[in-house]
Amino acid sequence: MSTIKAFLEAGKSLITLGAGANAAARQQIRDVTGQLADELDRALSLADSYLVGVRFSKDDHELAAYLYDARSKLMGSYHEHHICAGLYQLADKFGQMFDPTRFSVSLGSYSEIPQLIEHLKNGERAVIDDLDELIGQFHELAARLDAAPAEQKEQARAAILASADYFRDKLAQQRKQVKNSRRRIVDTL
Inform me whether the pLDDT recorded for 70 exceeds 80. Answer: yes
For 129-172, what is each residue's pLDDT tens digit?
777 888 888 889 889 989 999 899 999 899 999 989 998 998 89
Domain map (residue ranges) of the chain: 3-188
CA 154 to chain centre: 36
Identify residue 152 by its one-letter amino acid code: Q
> CA-CA-CA-CA torsion for 169, 71, 121, 20, nearest 10 degrees?
-110
Binning pLDDT at 50, 70 and 90, where does residue 117 land? low
Q: Tell me, what's the pLDDT at 27?
A: 75
Alpha helices in the chain (DSSP H): 3-53, 60-68, 70, 80-95, 112-147, 153-188
DSSP letter string over 89-143? HHHHHHHSTT-GGGGSS-GGGTTHHHHHHHHHHHHHHHHHHHHHHHHHHHHHHHH
Inform me whether the pLDDT recorded for 3 exceeds 50. Answer: no
Higher pLDDT, 117 or 142: 142
Rounded to two decimals, the pTM is: 0.66
For 23-57, what is each residue's pLDDT tens digit?
776 777 777 777 777 777 887 888 899 899 999 98
